[in-house]
Amino acid sequence: MRLRTVLATLLLTAVPLGGQPAAAATPVTIAYAQRTQTWELVLTNGEVVKVPEALAVAPHDAVNPGARAAFLVSGDGRHFFYFRKSDGRFTERTLHGKERAIRDITVDTVGEEWPSSVSYDGGFVVTGTSAPGLGVLVDLRKGRSLPPPGGTDTWNFAGFSPDGERLLLQEYGDGRMTVFDRGLRARLRSKTRLWATALANDYVTAAEPVGPWPASRKLRLVDLRTGKASGTVTVRLPRGQRIDDLDFDKAGHLVVRSKTTTGVAVYRVSKTTGAVTPLRTMVRPDVKVWVLPGDDEYEPWAEKK
C-alpha cells in the first residue's frame, strides 16, 4: 500500500468540499481521513475537508446496526470512498468531482459483506465477507461488477499490483496463488502454496512475510511462475516494530509500513540485506479512527486504543 507525505506541524483549516485548495508546487491530495463528529479529509497542504454526507456507522435497519461504516482512500490520494447517508450506497468521489455510487455495495450488509480494498488508482474495489471468500469485485473504469472467479467463494484477496492492472488471489483448499487481470481472467497460476501478500508490476514477483503475524520481521520473495522462493531476509526495523503491511511501489522497490508508538513509519527495504531506508513517518491524530491512502478496511493503527 502507498502513502503521501504529510507534515504533522501543518496548520489545519476547515474548508467546504467544493472549495479549491491553495496553489502548490505539487498537486494537493489526501494525506489521510479521520473521523471526529463526521468524516474529514486532511489534505497534503494542511487543509481539512469535511464529508458530512458519509455515514460513520451502519443505520438501525442494517444487518448489523452501529457497525463501523468503511471509509477508504486510494493509494494515490486522489479518490475517497464512503457509504452515503442519503441511500446507504457505497460511493466514490474525488476532491472536486461528483459522487459516483457503486450500485452493488450498500451499508445494509456491513458486517456480513463490506468494501475491504481499493486499487492504487481508485479504479477497482474488492469486498470481503464474514464467511470465507470474497463478495463482489467492481471495476469502476468500466462500470461493472464481477463475481469471484468461477463464481465460487473459494478465493482470498491478497493484493493489487501497483498499477492496478492485476489482482493476486489465493484459492482455499490447494492454497495456490493466481494472478488475474481486471476482467478476472487468470493470467498466471502459481506452482507454490506460499502465502504472498504483495505483487510487483512485473506480475510475477510476489513478497511474503515470514513468521507468525503480528510478530513478523522477516520476508522472502516468490517467483510465481516457477514457484521458487528466495532466502529469508530479516527486515532491520527499529526495536519493537514489525511488518504490519508489505507492498511493492511502482519502481519495484519493497515498501513496509510499521506501527510505531506515535503513528506509522514507512520504509523502503533492501531485497537482499533487509536494510531499511526511512521514507516518512506520520503522527497519529487525536481521533478515534483514521485512514491512510492505500489502507485496507482495517489496519493495526486504525483504532485509537
Alpha-helical runs (H) found in 69-198: none
DSSP conformation class of 233:
E
Residue written as grid cell 479521520: 34
Does the residue 156 lie in any domain? yes
Interatomic CA distance for residues 258 and 241, integer angstroms: 6
Q: What is the pLDDT of residue 140?
A: 94
Q: Please report which confidence band the pLDDT of residue 130 belongs to, taking 50, 70 and 90 as the band edges.
A: confident
In this prediction, residue 257 carries a pLDDT of 96
Residue 6 lies in a domain: no
In a domain, 296, yes or no: no
Q: How far apart are CA 59 and CA 297, in angstroms?
A: 18
Q: What is the pLDDT of residues 157-197, one digit of tens each?
A: 999 999 999 999 998 877 789 999 999 999 999 987 788 89
What is the rounded CA–CA span in Å between residue 122 and residue 136?
A: 16
Tell me what pLDDT residue 152 has.
Answer: 75
Give the mean model confidence (pLDDT) for residues 109-129: 94
Q: What is the pLDDT of residue 237?
A: 97
Mean pLDDT of the chain: 89
Task: Provide the pLDDT for residue 191.
Answer: 80
Evaluate whether 289 touches 34 at the Cβ level (below 8 Å): yes
**Distance (Å, rounded) from C-alpha 79 to C-alpha 274?**
32
DSSP 8-state secondary structure symbol assigned to residue 21 = P
Q: Which residue has the higher pLDDT, 71 or 96?
A: 71
pLDDT at 25: 64
Say if pTM beats, i.e. exceeds, 0.85: yes
Angle at Cα 106 formed by Cα 100 and Cα 110, nearest 5°?
Answer: 135
- Tens digit of pLDDT for each residue in 61-91? 999 999 999 999 999 999 999 999 999 999 9
Q: What are the tens digits of pLDDT across the range 219-242? A: 999 999 998 999 999 999 999 999
What digits encode the pLDDT tens for the residues 4-37?
333 233 233 333 444 444 444 689 999 999 999 8
The Cα–Cα gap between 80 and 40 comes to: 11
1 within domain boundaries: no
Domain membership of residue 7 (yes or no) is no
Do the domain assignments include residue 9?
A: no
What pLDDT was estimated at residue 14? 37
**Residue 262 in this model has a pLDDT that exceeds 50:** yes
- Give the CATH number, domain containing residue 182: 2.120.10
**Residue bearing cell 502465502:** 195
Question: Residue 43: which pLDDT band, with cuts at 50, 70 and 90?
Answer: very high
| Domain range enclosing 193 | 14-291
Q: State how far the Cα of 227 lies from the Cα of 220, in Å rounded to an integer.
A: 12
In the prediction, which pLDDT does 207 show?
A: 96
What is the total count of domains within the chain? Answer: 1
The residue-averaged pLDDT of 121-127 equals 96
- Residue 5 placed within a domain: no
Q: Is residue 301 part of a domain?
A: no
> Above 60 in pLDDT, residue 268?
yes
pLDDT for 273-292, tens place per residue?
999 999 999 999 999 899 99
Q: How many CA atoms lie within 13 A of 174 on its CB side?
A: 8
pLDDT above 70: residue 254: yes
